[in-house]
């Protein structure tokens, strides 16, 4: 009998696990995801800023999996896990498994601030990125029509909460687009009145990275006109005002939230198996604690058995990819009745792009910055894209955009269903 593996979540972990088990006749695999496509989260901010199309970093699951004989796709959202009966409920049906792999990833963490959760703009998926793109373009159009200086300034002000790689990359992109595009295309707007703020509660930007990376990011963003506020956090957002922990406030209609993540909730998993940040506690083989045949991979897993990472692994794509590779080997070893291989993370470094021709790269033994780091960032971010066509299209598009400084996809697209009957 083929063992049925259900993988919930088609991100880096889920897709790479499928690749490691593809066409293995011992396994029947079902991928469950609420979307019908895989996408590349590290470049989501470029979709939000109208720099690239969503299709450049997305690919349909069914097309991706069509060449794998033992893999099927089920579109639906996980609603509950039933470990005792080895089933999961989705909003589109119930499925039985022999092995369950949870690779749901994370969602934005608003730290209990209801107003921020309701009004801020997160950027964790394609839908949120496209909404943010439309929102900012509509605000610019309204500012161009607005004759009241104070109201126009409020529409133009942008606050980014979170000084990690996403916040830094987004701030750099918006600052450069304001410089190269807004000045030419929005003559009605007095751009000198607008401000772009980057806020973080920690004393440095890019806190997990090297001192070189932190200092380079801070210096370059300041040169681009970004107002950096450190050692301060967002406490509330109401009536078009961002309230800060130091008692000050910023008037804006745009608060972009990149300040933290939390594991997605998995109903049915025992409470004692859920750790800090709502991540699932796993053993050295990525098996969820307190279960026999449920595994967790990627950002949602919290593994405390790796000597070099006693507090858990960073929530990075490389961790998810290596998790998947190791679990793929172990599932085969289970079937072959061999000893399992404990997971050990091979840290290959981290990086962030700051602006055009400028990035920072931290490798295990040294760090570097500037143009070569920028080229490295481009190369590393093209490799994981799942289709050759996507790699080529993105490379060509990047080349054109970085030469011309003028992306042409600033389209306000607000799909509406026509409910009128003829």
Residues forming beta bridges with residue 72, ordered by sequence position: 30
What does the pLDDT read at residue 161?
Answer: 98
The answer on 73 and 55 residing in a single domain is: yes
Considering only the C-alpha atoms of the chain, give the largest distance between any 2 of them, rounded to a whole number of Å.
74
Shared-domain flag, residues 92 and 128: no
Give me 46's structure tokens.
Answer: 């470029």
CA distances from 337 to 259, 293, 327 (A): 44, 15, 15
> Looking at the structure, do residues 46 and 89 belong to the same domain, yes or no?
yes
Q: Is residue 395 part of a domain?
A: no
* Residue 219, in any domain of the structure: yes
User: Quick check: is 140 in a domain?
Assistant: yes
Identify which of 310, 307, 341 has the alpha carbon closest to the alpha carbon of residue 326: 341
pLDDT for residue 246? 96
Q: Identify whether 40 is part of a domain.
A: yes
Mark whether 16 and 136 lie in a shared domain. no
Asked whether 12 and 298 are in contact (CB, 8 A), the reply is yes
Domain annotation covers residue 340: no
Shared-domain flag, residues 95 and 18: yes
As a whole number of angstroms, the distance between CA 138 and CA 98 comes to 49
In a domain, 279, yes or no: yes
Of the candidates 303, 320, 321, the residue with the CA atom closest to the CA atom of residue 312 = 303
- The residues facing 238 across adjacent strands are 241
Domain end residue (candidates: 202, 229, 259): 259
The pLDDT value recorded for residue 419 is 54
Walk along the chain (422 residues) and give the pLDDT tens digit of each residue: 799 999 999 999 999 999 999 999 999 999 999 999 999 999 999 999 988 889 989 999 999 999 899 999 999 999 999 999 999 999 999 999 999 999 999 999 999 999 999 999 999 999 999 999 999 999 999 998 988 888 988 999 999 999 999 999 999 999 988 887 877 888 888 767 789 999 999 999 999 899 999 999 999 999 999 999 999 999 999 999 999 999 999 999 999 999 989 999 999 999 999 999 999 999 999 999 999 999 999 999 999 999 999 999 999 999 999 999 999 999 999 999 999 999 999 999 999 999 888 999 999 889 999 999 988 988 888 887 777 677 888 888 888 777 777 766 788 888 776 655 44
Helix (H), strand (E) at residue 87: strand 87-90
Domain holding 283: CATH number?
Answer: 3.50.50.60
Question: Half-sphere exposure of residue 137, counting CA atoms within 13 Å on the CB side?
Answer: 20
Residues 144 and 238 in one domain: yes
* Domain-ending residue, one of 335, 352, 381: 335
If asked whether residues 97 and 183 sit together in one domain, one would say no
Say how many Å lie between the first and final Cα of the chain, rounded.
54
Question: 108: helix, coil or strand?
Answer: strand
Structure confidence at residue 401 (pLDDT): 77
Which of 218, 235, 259 is the last residue before a domain boundary? 259
38 plus 123 within the same structural domain? no
The total of structural domains in the chain comes to 2
Picking from 408, 383, 106, 387, the residue whose alpha carbon sits closest to that of residue 261 is 106
**DSSP β-bridge partners for residue 256:** 121, 160
State how far the alpha carbon of 281 is from the alpha carbons of 76, 162, 301, in Å: 25, 26, 6
Same domain for 287 and 179, yes or no, is no
Asked whether residue 68 is assigned to any structural domain, the reply reads: yes
**104 near 8, Cβ under 8 Å?**
yes
Residue 249 lies in a domain: yes
In this structure, are 160 and 252 located in the same domain? yes
- From residue 250, alpha-carbon distances to 138, 169, 242, 243 in Å are 20, 21, 5, 7
What does pTM read for this prediction? 0.92
* Residue 44 sits in the same domain as residue 57: yes
**394 burial via Cβ count (<10 Å: 0-12, 13-18, 19+):** buried
Ramachandran region, residue 350 (left: φ > 0; alpha: ψ -120 to 50; beta: rest): beta
Does one domain contain both 140 and 253?
A: yes
Give me the domain span that covers residue 122: 114-259
């Amino acid at each position: 009998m083929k063992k049925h593996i259900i993988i919930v979540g088609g991100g880096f972990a889920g897709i790479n696990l499928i690749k490691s088990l593809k066409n293995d006749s011992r396994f029947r695999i079902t991928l469950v995801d609420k979307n019908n496509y895989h996408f590349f989260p590290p470049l989501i901010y470029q979709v939000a800023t109208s720099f690239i199309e969503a299709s450049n970093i997305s690919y349909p699951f069914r097309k991706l999996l069509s060449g794998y004989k033992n893999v099927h796709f089920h579109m639906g959202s996980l609603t509950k896990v039933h470990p005792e009966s080895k089933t999961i409920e989705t909003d589109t049906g119930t499925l039985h498994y022999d092995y369950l792999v949870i690779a749901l990833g994370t969602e934005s963490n608003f730290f209990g601030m209801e107003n921020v959760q309701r009004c801020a703009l997160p950027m964790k998926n394609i839908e949120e990125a496209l909404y943010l793109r439309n929102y900012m373009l509509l605000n610019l159009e309204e500012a161009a029509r607005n004759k009241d200086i104070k109201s126009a300034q409020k529409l133009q002000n942008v606050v980014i909460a979170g000084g990690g790689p996403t916040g830094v990359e987004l701030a750099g992109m918006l600052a450069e687009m304001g410089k190269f595009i807004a000045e030419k295309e929005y003559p009605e707007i007095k751009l000198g009145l607008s401000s772009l703020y980057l806020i973080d509660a920690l004393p440095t930007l890019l806190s997990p990275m090297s001192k070189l990376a932190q200092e380079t990011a801070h210096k370059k963003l300041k040169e681009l006109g970004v107002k950096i506020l450190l050692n301060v956090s967002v406490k509330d957002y109401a009536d078009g005002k961002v309230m800060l922990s130091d008692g000050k406030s910023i008037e804006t209609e745009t608060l972009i939230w990149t300040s933290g993540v939390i594991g997605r909730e998995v109903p049915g998993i025992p409470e004692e198996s859920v750790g800090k940040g709502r991540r699932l506690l796993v053993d050295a083989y990525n098996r969820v604690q307190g279960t026999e045949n449920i595994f967790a991979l990627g950002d949602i897993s919290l593994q405390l058995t790796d000597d070099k990472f006693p507090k858990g692994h960073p929530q990075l794509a490389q961790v998810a990819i290596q998790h998947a590779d190791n679990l793929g080997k172990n599932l085969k070893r289970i079937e072959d009745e061999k000893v399992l291989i404990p997971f050990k993370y091979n840290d290959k470094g981290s990086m962030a792009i700051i602006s055009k021709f400028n990035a920072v790269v931290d490798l295990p033994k040294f760090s570097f910055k500037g143009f070569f780091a920028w080229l490295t960032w481009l190369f590393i971010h093209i490799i994981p894209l799942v289709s050759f066509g996507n790699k080529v299209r993105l490379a060509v598009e990047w080349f054109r955009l970085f030469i011309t400084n003028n992306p042409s996809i600033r389209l306000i697209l607000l799909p509406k269903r026509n409910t009128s009957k003829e």
